[in-house]
């Protein structure tokens, strides 16, 4: 019975990249019927020797590797040649092309892809958090968040939450409405992670009027009336004073500008705690 082909995937990191490439190539041969054995976090010559011992046992084996540490790569190349084992470097040809074309040397540091992946997943987690705890839907998010934004309707709480989420901050936002009692959790969070958003009555009237028009409603609705706006702003100010949080006027600020100010404020607040 013919022995099954074996590919030893060797990496000084996780080895996912090498395994993916091997699988892609294997599908072109016998429907991908190849035994792939991953050897992750290879850190010294002893680890390489362990793989060579296994690969020597069959002439139907290949070593496919993604090793960026030069000493380990050179050692594997030399020893594989001595043992008559085919070893394929999956990174070096493209790395050399990058180096020649872009005229800059590689970092030669293992695990950088994993760091990028971790950073990506932190961002996704923060975005999902912002969606889940938007507009005060679940007060439990207040305690779990990195930043809590409070303010009346149309003070850019949601856009700010999403913008900050893309910077890996978990943000919850809570609307302040006179008829609705704020959640108790709001008064138990450290003031160093809460920010109040205020806006001028004229600007808020303008924004709310446009919002009503977009919804096909009359601009005379109570939502955009100055009397209602002043009532809401007065109520919000009282809540913010009770919380003791820093306050930002967003009247004529872009989301990016407000977000930068929020981070500056929180950084300075936390440096004193």
In the chain, count of helices (H) and strands (E)?
A: 10, 8
158 annotated ligand binder: yes
273 annotated ligand binder: no
154 annotated ligand binder: yes
Element (H, E) at 25: helix 16-26
Element (H, E) at 46: helix 45-56
Instruction: Answer left, alpha or beta for residue 84, where phi above 0 means left and psi between -120 and 50 means alpha.
Output: left
56 annotated ligand binder: no
Rounded to the nearest 10°, the torsion over CA 164, 168, 170, 174 is 10
| 86-89 and 61-66 beta bridge pairing | parallel
At residue 206, the 3 state secondary structure works out as helix
156 annotated ligand binder: yes
Written as six digits, the tokens of 75 are: 């050692």
Give me the half-sphere count of Cα atoms (radius 13 Å) on the Cβ side of residue 2: 7
DSSP assignment of 78-96: HHHHHHT-EEEESSHHHHH
List the end-to-end C-alpha distance of the chain, in Å, as a whole number. Answer: 71
Centre a 10 Å sphere on the Cβ of residue 176 and count the other Cβ atoms it contains.
24
CA–CA distance, 31 with 16 (Å, rounded to integer): 20
153 annotated ligand binder: yes
Give me the half-sphere count of Cα atoms (radius 13 Å) on the Cβ side of residue 197: 29
152 annotated ligand binder: yes
Q: What residues are designated binding site?
A: 151-158
- Binding site, annotated residues for ADP: 151-158
């Amino acid at each position: 019975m013919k022995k099954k082909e074996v590919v030893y995937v060797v990496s000084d990191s996780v080895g996912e990249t090498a395994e993916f490439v091997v699988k892609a190539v294997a599908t072109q041969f016998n429907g991908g019927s190849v035994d792939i054995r991953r050897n992750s976090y290879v850190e010294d010559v002893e680890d390489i020797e362990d793989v060579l011992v296994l690969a020597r046992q069959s002439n139907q084996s290949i070593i496919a590797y993604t090793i960026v540490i030069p000493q380990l790569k050179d050692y594997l190349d030399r020893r594989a040649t001595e043992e008559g084992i085919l070893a394929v470097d999956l990174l070096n040809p493209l790395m050399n092309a990058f180096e020649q074309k872009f005229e800059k040397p590689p970092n030669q540091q293992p695990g950088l892809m994993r760091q990028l992946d971790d950073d990506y997943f932190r961002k996704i987690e923060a975005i999902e958090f912002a969606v889940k705890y938007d507009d005060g839907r679940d007060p439990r998010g207040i305690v779990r968040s990195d930043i809590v934004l409070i303010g009346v309707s149309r003070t850019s709480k949601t856009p700010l939450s999403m913008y900050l989420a893309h910077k890996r901050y978990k943000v919850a936002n809570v609307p302040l409405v006179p008829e609705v009692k704020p959640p108790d959790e709001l008064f138990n969070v450290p003031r160093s992670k809460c920010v109040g958003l205020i806006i001028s009555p004229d600007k808020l009237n303008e924004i709310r009027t446009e919002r009503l028009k977009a919804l096909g409603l009359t601009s005379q609705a109570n939502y955009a009336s100055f009397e209602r706006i002043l009532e809401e702003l007065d109520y919000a100010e009282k809540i913010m004073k009770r919380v003791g949080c820093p306050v930002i006027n967003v009247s004529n600020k872009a989301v990016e500008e407000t977000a930068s100010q929020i981070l500056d404020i929180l950084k300075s607040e936390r440096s004193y705690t």
